[in-house]
Amino acid sequence: MMDDVTRAGGVVVFRGLTQGSAKVMTDALSRVLKPGEQMDGVGIDPRLFRAFGIEAVPTYVVTSSDFDLCDGFDCTTAVPPFDRMSGNVTTAHALTTFAQGSGPGAKLAAQHLARLERQKP
């Protein structure tokens, strides 16, 4: 999933560090990545979980436009309209569903899906 999201132009976001440790998290991620998989599209930001009301993972979110997150960790960000899907589905499935659903993230989802399909290994 991390590799597909990165290849599609997205970012995998974690709410926080595993056991509060960057080393523990890096070690855990290195054990699940396959050789050649990308990890440059991984970030940590609890504000995104709060902004989009994410309570379950994995959750895919595609917004209708860019936006700026508020600066503090206790603040609330006004987000643009978005599509969201939670569950054990592939990146391609989520993007296809968003693109075909004509929701607020449909246009960007179609662009990300095309990018993912062009970059298949």
How many separate domains does the chain show? 1
**CB–CB of 16/49 below 8 Å?**
no
The parent domain of residue 7 ranges over 2-118
| Residue 85 neighbours by CB under 8 Å, 6+ apart | 59, 60, 94, 97, 98
Contacting residues for 107 by C-beta, under 8 A, at least 6 apart: 64
Q: Return per-residue pLDDT of the chain as tens, 121 residues.
A: 888 998 999 999 999 998 989 899 888 888 887 777 767 788 899 999 999 999 999 999 999 999 998 887 778 888 999 999 999 999 999 999 999 999 999 999 999 999 999 977 6
CA 103 vs. chain centroid, Å, equals 17
